[in-house]
Amino acid sequence: MSKFLPLWPDRASTIAGQVDALYIYLVLVSAVMTLLIFVAVAVLAIKYRRRPGVLPHPIEGSPILEIGWSVIPFGVMLTFFIWGAVIYFKERTPPTSSTEVYVVAKQWMWKIEHMEGQREINELHVPVGQNVKMVMTSQDVIHSFFIPAFRLKQDVIPGRYTTLWFNATTPGVYHLFCAEYCGTSHSGMIGNVVVMSPQDYSQWMAGGPSAPLPEQGKQLFASLGCSTCHRFDIQGRGPNLQSAFGKPVLLEDGRTVTMDENYVRESILNPTAKIVSGFKPVMPTFQGLVSDEQLNALVAYVKSLAQPASGTLNQAAVAPAGQPQSKQVQ
């Protein structure tokens, strides 16, 4: 590969080689199929061309031939779907050990916050060889988080979370683009993904001035009065959130849903959308009262409650009696 005229983009994630292999397979099969069709057309055009004084003979159909040229190409094309589906499910299933990073897209920048509290704009620092899960939402319009060297692209949608994950394999600096037209300065919505060695990453992360994201969420949870209703016992007016994240939730209408990031987000902004069985819809909406960054912190805190207790993050924070009632996550 020439550095002046590269024939292939950088390949810097564990999934990139699989995506490239599928792409090469698609090109080769398409080229072979095209060649076979042109050869068949040329041979038939020459063999059965019109000749002076020669009368054409009727040709009987061949069921075996017709079935063959239908079933065999169908089987070959079906491999596209199977192979693509395998890669798709790998891309959409983050390992449980993934480090989480929250992203808020807006015209025209990427705002990034690590669980440790470090914040970035238009730049993402990650360690090499570690699974990283991106939890993303948009503040305004649809954007698309695209890292060509990782062969990954995911739409970032307002009003909900979308996710992608990767494992970077090669230290370096790689381009980050918005691949969805999002307004007049769409072309300027770019950035860099900086892949670092674990030692360099730890040193970089140590410079973060902010508190960890779950700790920020815990403080916000208390300041909004959420702990007056969401107690860690059976006395609360809202559901107990201790160890609830990732588990099924029975709703008043009989449905069962899983408490994930989108469920928590919706319950904060539109608390009457899904009422938990056994609780009344008394929670006020926080639409317009909390920012996307604050929503990320609240979600991170609720998720931390599902982890084994450590430090103060998982301890019940009961607010004074005079504080306003909080959200009922349902």
What distance in Å separates the CA atoms of residue 263 and residue 281, rounded to the nearest whole number? 16
pLDDT tens by residue, 203-258: 898 876 678 999 999 999 988 888 888 888 766 788 888 888 999 999 988 899 99
pLDDT tens by residue, 121-150: 999 999 999 999 999 999 999 999 999 999
What distance in Å separates the CA atoms of residue 293 and residue 204, rounded to the nearest whole number? 22
Could you give the strand order of the β-sheet that contains 152-156, starting from the edge strand earlier in sequence?
A: 123-127, 190-196, 172-178, 143-147, 152-156
pLDDT at 306: 83
CA atoms within 13 A on the CB side of 118: 17
What domains does the chain contain, in order, with CATH numbers?
16-91 (1.10.287), 99-205 (2.60.40.420), 213-304 (1.10.760.10)
Assigned token pair, 56: 């054409």
Identify which has the larger pLDDT, 156 or 9. Answer: 156
Mean pLDDT score of the chain, rounded to an integer? Answer: 86
The residue among 135, 177, 176 whose CA lies nearest residue 157 is: 135
- What is the identity of the amino acid at 192? N
pLDDT at 182: 93
pLDDT of residue 299 exceeding 80? yes
What distance in Å separates the CA atoms of residue 255 and residue 277, rounded to the nearest whole number? 9
Instruction: Confirm if 317 and 222 have CB atoms less than 8 A apart.
Output: yes
Identify which has the larger pLDDT, 225 or 6. Answer: 225
pLDDT of residue 319 exceeding 60? no
pLDDT of residue 54 exceeding 90? no
What distance in Å separates the CA atoms of residue 265 and residue 299, rounded to the nearest whole number? 7
- The pLDDT > 70 percentage for the chain reads 90
Reported as type and span, the H/E element at residue 300 is helix 292-304
Identify which has the larger pLDDT, 168 or 288. Answer: 168
pLDDT tens by residue, 64-104: 888 998 899 899 999 999 999 999 999 999 998 899 999 99
What distance in Å separates the CA atoms of residue 205 and residue 328, rounded to the nearest whole number? 34
What distance in Å separates the CA atoms of residue 148 and residue 89, rounded to the nearest whole number? 19
Stated pTM of the model: 0.81
pLDDT of residue 259 exceeding 70? yes
Pairing of strands 131-138, 99-106: parallel
Identify which has the larger pLDDT, 46 or 308. Answer: 46
